[in-house]
Structure 1
Amino acid sequence: MRVFVTGATGAVGRYLVPGLVEAGHQVTATTRKADKLRGLREVGAEAVVVDGLDRDGVLAAVRAAEPEVIVHQMTALSEMGRLRHVDQEFAATSALRTKGTDNLLAAAKDVGARRVVAQGHNFIYARTGGPVKSEDDPLDPRPVRSAAQAMAAIRYVDRTVQDGAPEGLVLRYGTFYGPHASDQFIQGVRKRQMPVIGGGTGVWSFIETRDAASAALAAVERGAPGVYNVVDDEPAPVSQWLPYLAEVAGAKPPMRMPVWLGRLLAGEFIVTQMTEARGAANAKARAELGWTPRFPSWRDGFRDWVHSESR
């Protein structure tokens, strides 16, 4: 098939593009930076510079490629800093998730591309009820105020892609880790800048970046329209995974911090994720996409990540 991939040099795209080419698809891959075109061409893709917020540019690039499938992986996550002021840090990504999504859906309609696969996130589930959520569970009705716009943008992708494409699939990724993803995460753990806040009762679901790419490849080729949790098999509370990551990274155990001090130093969003977050179940993606993660547990994945980071 002819596949148009945006965000092709990001954490997921860098593995998705060669995977699509290897699977026999004709791939047009986009980047915002001209110096990254060569790398995309070397793996067998047609490479173009496109700004996802430039509607005319997006329409022109999609018309030239005439894709059957469009994959929306556009973010600006590599440009983020600290998450005390989430909406400020996510502003560029939120624009890509709203205006950028509209531009891609308009282009898909223009060329008759039936399938659109988009990047979502599982942070949007309600922080009540059981610790692990399925795709049918309710979303958070009251996001943390400092992250309200960012969460609204994620929900916009969820709703708009399903409504705006004949075959709209949204992949609700867990927290990314792995090569070329969240390297600052490991540095923070090693410097003991990531404490366990409160009881560390927030439950996180993770996904290694190559596993995220393999799920996106599966969604290009099969699966009914709808949303899919793309996470590993082992949701875990912060009190479990953070000390484990410190251990495999060769760091001292993380410090402990009361909630009130966490709010003062890190902000409400971080405290909420550390104490109230809910994980996600991947049964639907396994069954309907025929997808199996290479790292079913973050335990094995973290070890591989740390070792690759040190090489």
Structure 2
Amino acid sequence: MVGDALDRSSLLRAVDGLAADAVVHELTALRAAPTRHRGMVPTDRLREVGTANLLAAAESLGAARFITQSIILGYGYRDHGDRVLTEDDPFGQPQGDGCDPHLAAMRSTEQQAFTAPVGIALRYGMFYGGDPAEKRALLARRRLAVSRGGLLGWIHHDDAAAATVAALASVRDNIVDDRPASWADLFTAMAAAYGTPAPPRLPAWLFRLAAPYVATFAIDTSMRVSNAKAEQELGWKPAYPSYVEGLTPSA
């Protein structure tokens, strides 16, 4: 069925008389990575208001289990050094810049989810692999730029989907692969796998000017994130241990 997650009355009417065991919150307003902070405003609202409305729907449905989409960027858009981050590290803490509304929204969706009888948060890494035709076209036209930057946790779309199903029995997990990689490394490897020209490499100052929000994680963020808890508790392992395997032709 189709409902408006930002209109609680409409949403509750849509689920009236129905029942479910779980509600999985994967709402996003993103069609592509937003280049500027204002592009995150609709998704921030879905994480705050949409989560509250879906929790009301879950109660109406009798769904005790509530899973929300989160993201490892909630650990902070900064250089975390060489220490491996786990689920016990501070999450969604303000850092005094334009990222604070996004961090607050990530924290909000998790804290709200944990008010459910069984609340679950999946802290996904950065997705890749689910839109090869679109990315191939961008790379072929040299419309996807890179710059020297730090490391991020990545996850193939198929592995993220498998972990989401497995997480119906979990509480809070990092869903990343085994090998952090920079924005530049991944998209350069993607161009090679797709047979397109390498992405243009911009100096950091120009990248920040063209895409200030993307720069906060593609350049300024460096994090090594552990997936050990998800592997131990869910019996889940990424089918693609890194982007190298994830970008092979069979993937």
Shift of 1:91: 2.6
Matches for 1:91-102 after TM superposition, within 5 Å = 91-102=41-52
1-structure distance, mates of 2:126, 2:174: 11
> Secondary structure of 1:257's partner?
coil
Shift of 1:136: 1.4
Contact 2:36 2:211 in 1 (8 A): no
> Secondary structure of 2:82's partner?
coil
> What is residue 75 of structure 2 aligned with on the other side?
125
Shift of 1:256: 2.7
1:149 counterpart = 2:93? no
Choose from 259, 273, 276 the match for 2:220.
276
Choose from 291, 295, 302 the match for 2:236.
291
1:50 counterpart = 2:23? no
Matches for 1:38-187 after TM superposition, within 5 Å = 48-78=1-31, 80=32, 83-86=34-37, 88-126=38-76, 127=78, 128-130=80-82, 132-139=84-91, 140-142=93-95, 144-145=97-98, 147-162=99-114, 164-179=115-130, 181=131, 184-187=134-137
Shift of 1:62: 3.4
In structure 1, the gaps of 5 or more residues are 1-47
Describe the shift of the 1:232–1:143 C-alpha distance in structure 2 as closer, same or farther (beyond 3 A): farther
Task: Name the amino acid aligned to 2:35.
Answer: R
> What is residue 208 of structure 1 aligned with on the other side?
156
Choose from 214, 218, 225 the match for 2:166.
218
Shift of 1:111: 4.2
2-structure distance, mates of 1:280, 1:189: 28
Shift of 1:284: 0.8
How many residue pairs are counted as aligned between the two chains?
A: 247
Please, what is the CA RMSD of the aligned residues? 2.3
Describe the shift of the 1:136–1:129 C-alpha distance in structure 2 as closer, same or farther (beyond 3 A): farther
> Secondary structure of 2:144's partner?
coil
Task: Name the amino acid aligned to 2:128.
Answer: Y
Contact 1:202 1:272 in 2 (8 A): no
Describe the shift of the 1:160–1:89 C-alpha distance in structure 2 as closer, same or farther (beyond 3 A): same
2-structure distance, mates of 1:92, 1:66: 29
Deviations 1:111-159 (A, max 9, x none): 44211011111112132333642111223531641x4333322221122
Describe the shift of the 1:148–1:111 C-alpha distance in structure 2 as closer, same or farther (beyond 3 A): same
Task: Name the amino acid aligned to 2:143.
Answer: Q
Higher RCO (CA-CA < 8 Å; seq separation 6+): 2
> Secondary structure of 2:237's partner?
coil
Describe the shift of the 1:184–1:264 C-alpha distance in structure 2 as closer, same or farther (beyond 3 A): same
Task: Name the amino acid aligned to 1:209.
Answer: H
> Secondary structure of 2:215's partner?
helix
Task: Name the amino acid aligned to 2:156.
Answer: E
> What is residue 210 of structure 2 aligned with on the other side?
265
Shift of 1:218: 0.9
In structure 2, the gaps of 5 or more residues are none
Contact 1:236 1:279 in 2 (8 A): no
Describe the shift of the 1:232–1:161 C-alpha distance in structure 2 as closer, same or farther (beyond 3 A): same
2-structure distance, mates of 1:283, 1:66: 34
> Secondary structure of 2:173's partner?
strand
1-structure distance, mates of 2:167, 2:206: 42
Shift of 1:258: 2.0
